[in-house]
Chain A
Amino acid sequence: DAGVIQSPRHEVTEMGQEVTLRCKPISGHDYLFWYRQTMMRGLELLIYFNNNVPIDDSGMPEDRFSAKMPNASFSTLKIQPSEPRDSAVYFCASRLLPAGIADTGELFFGEGSRLTVL
């Protein structure tokens, strides 16, 4: 399997522009997660999906952020309009249905999309 695939790997844009980050999870995985990583705040969970349905978006920082999962093999994270403080590395991760509520199973991360907003 190719693993979790994210695109673009790097994005440089200007403040106010729309940014769309893309993710293809591992085939057969039931869960998809979007994380953001910065030096100041570390790893933050933004949103996660189960079987393409958003389960918890409480980590989405504000209305400028939106995420969709139209099918089991594709998800997008959109920022509109983008701001300099959105500069970060955005990770997508996927996993299988865990054996139990406390055993989350292994998360498989993509390589990340490094976003720079000028």
Chain B
Amino acid sequence: AQSVAQPEDQVNVAEGNPLTVKCTYSVSGNPYLFWYVQYPNRGLQFLLKYITGDNLVKGSYGFEAEFNKSQTSFHLKKPSALVSDSALYFCAVPDSWGKLQFGAGTQVVVTP
């Protein structure tokens, strides 16, 4: 079965510092991977996705994600975090029926 894991419940980072949110995957076949963000009291928003091609995927709000096949990881990154990046981040993978399977989520807290 296709699945993703987010090993950290929360990530704390100071504003201006690099931000990394970890995701590992377990899939059969070619992996298709997604990141979504949920700001407080809002719905989830699509950030970026990996289908094929370059291992570094660029997305919205200055975020990017690095696909690493050998480590089965798809970590989300931002070079310089903003306080406004404080949110809940979800990694996701589609199952064989095309339904997105979301990870448990990682709360990002960016302090001024």
Could you list which residues of chain A lie within 8 angstroms of chain B, going by C-beta atoms? 4, 42-43, 45, 48, 56, 91, 93, 98, 101-104, 106-112
A4 contacts across to B, CB distance below 8 A: 43
Residues in chain A near residue B46, CB distance under 8 A = 106-108
The stretch among B10-18, B61-69, B70-78, B91-99 that forms the contact with chain A is: B91-99
For the side of the interface on B, what is the size category? 20 to 34
Q: Which label, helix, strand, loop or mixed, suits the secondary structure of the A interface?
A: loop
Q: Are A111 and B42 in contact (CB under 8 A)?
A: yes
Across the interface, do A102 and B29 meet the contact criterion of CB distance under 8 Å? yes
* Chain B 74-112 interface residues, beta-carbon cutoff 8 Å to A: 90, 94, 96-100, 102, 104-105
SS class of chain B's interface: helix, strand, loop or mixed? Answer: loop
Asked if B44 is an interface residue, CB under 8 A from chain A, the answer is: yes
Given A48-B99, A91-B43, does the pair A102, B32 have CB atoms closer than 8 Å? yes
* Extra inter-chain contacts (5) besides given A43-B105, A112-B41, CB under 8 Å: A42-B104, A43-B44, A48-B99, A93-B43, A112-B43
Assuming the A-B contacts A101-B96, A104-B32, are A110 and B43 also in contact, with contact meaning beta carbons closer than 8 angstroms in the complex? Answer: yes
Q: Is the CB of B44 within 8 A of A104?
A: no
Interface of B with A (CB < 8 Å)? 29-30, 32, 34, 36, 41-46, 49, 51, 90, 94, 96-100, 102, 104-105
Q: Which of the listed residues B36, B43, B46, B105 has the most CB atoms from chain A within 10 Å of its own CB?
A: B43
B44 close to A103 (CB less than 8 A): no
Ranked 4 nearest A-B pairs via Cβ: A109-B43, A104-B94, A106-B46, A109-B44
Given contacts A42-B104, A103-B94, contact A56 B99 (CB under 8 A): yes
